[in-house]
Amino acid sequence: MKSKHICLFTISFFWALFAFSQEEEKDEIKEKAPRTFALRAGLDMIKLGRTQFEEGYQGLEIVGDLRLNRRVAVAAEVGSEQRTQQTEQINFTTTGSYIKLGVDYNFFNNWKGMDNALFVGIRLARSLHTHTVNNYTLYALNQYLVVNTQEGFLTGEREQLSTGWFEFLFGTKVQLFPDFYAGISLRMHGLLNNKQPQSFGNLYAPGFNRITDDNKFGGSINYTLTYSFPFRFKRKDPKN
């Protein structure tokens, strides 16, 4: 039932942004100005930094958005992660990829010549990943015997898993140089579905981060550097 409510809210959110987009398009027609679509693409620098400096982590995320008008942009992030973690009893490695699709709405009014953004957005995301149990610790009932094993029946790769979630985000993009932008966004995640592997909890999903039984929500931050590829077309004069 919760998933249905979230889906209905997401559809309503998309519909509201579409309505705003149509109003912006009407304004552009009145101004008779060339309409500009801007395709922007780049990388999440935080994941690159973690890959260099955090032991047991490798990650890459490509980000992009297509600006439909001065308010609305269709956005996407595609990435992959590999992370080794140690819980209280299990050492495991998660490997997989993910994709996020959604829209951003810019509510910042630029001065003439500026091209910055202060936006809110939504994403629907899904990951495909596997867990490999490297070793685990067995505790005897009397708690005096502790055995760490690397060849037990639980070790090895688990079946491929799929996790789905939504994200609400708030962020900004600032033009550093012509066609070059720096961006930062804060994100709140909420699980929609979370398949559990046999005999092992799904404790991490690429793109979502850590998963716990007590809390289905999470958060993240990204810092991006992007380049814009603008292209234009002119509307025909209806009088001709």
**Residue 111 vs residues 30, 36, 40, 108, 233: alpha-carbon distances, Å:** 20, 17, 21, 10, 23
Confidence of residue 30 (pLDDT cuts 50, 70, 90): very low
Mean pLDDT of the chain: 80
Query: Tell me, what CATH number does 94's domain have?
Result: 2.40.160.20
β-pair partners for 200: none
- Torsion sign, CA atoms 23, 108, 30, 25: negative
d(CA 110, CA 1): 41
Q: Would residue 238 count as lying in a domain?
A: no
Contact (CB, 8 A) for 211 and 220: no
Q: What is residue 132's predicted lDDT score, i.e. its pLDDT?
A: 86
112-122 pLDDT, tens per residue?
778 899 999 99
Which residues have a Cβ under 8 Å from the Cβ of 53 and sit 6 or more positions away? Answer: none
Does residue 230 surpass a pLDDT of 60? yes
Q: How far apart are CA 2 and CA 173, in angstroms?
A: 33
Total residues belonging to the chain: 240
Q: What is the pLDDT of residue 31?
A: 47
109: containing domain: 2-233
- At 124, the pLDDT band (50, 70, 90 cuts) reads very high
Report yes or no on 169 lying in a domain. yes
Higher-scoring residue by pLDDT: 171, 19: 171
Mean pLDDT calculated for residue range 50-58: 94
Confidence of residue 10 (pLDDT cuts 50, 70, 90): low
- pLDDT exceeds cutoff 60 at 13: no
Please give the helix or strand (H or E) that residue 136 lies within, else none. Answer: strand 117-139
For residue 138, the SS3 value is strand
pLDDT tens digits for range 62-108? 999 999 888 999 999 999 999 998 877 788 899 999 999 999 999 99
CA 209/CA 80 separation, integer angstroms: 12
Contact 89, 112 (CB under 8 A): no
* Number of domains observed in the structure of the chain: 1
In a domain, 211, yes or no: yes
Residue 239 lies in a domain: no
pLDDT of 35 > 60? The answer is yes
What is the amino acid identity at position 90?
A: I
For the segment 183-204, what is each residue's pLDDT rounded down to a tens digit? 999 999 999 988 776 666 778 8
Mean pLDDT, rounded, for 107-136: 89
pLDDT tens digits along 199-222: 667 788 999 988 877 778 889 999
34 contacts 233 by C-beta, under 8 angstroms: yes
- Asked whether the predicted pLDDT for residue 123 surpasses 80, the reply is yes
Residue 154 has what pLDDT? 60
Per-residue confidence (pLDDT) for residue 29, from 0 to 100? 45
How far is the C-alpha of 149 from the C-alpha of 127, rounded, in Å? Answer: 30
pLDDT at 98: 97
- Which of 7-11, 34-38, 88-92 is predicted with the least confidence, judged by mean pLDDT? 7-11
Residue 240 lies in a domain: no
pTM across the whole model:
0.78
Q: Cα–Cα distance between 220 and 208 in angstroms, integer?
A: 8
Q: Would you say residue 41 lies in a domain? A: yes
Residues paired with residue 72 on neighbouring β-strands, in sequence order:
105
Q: Is the dihedral of CA 44, 47, 49, 51 positive or negative?
A: negative
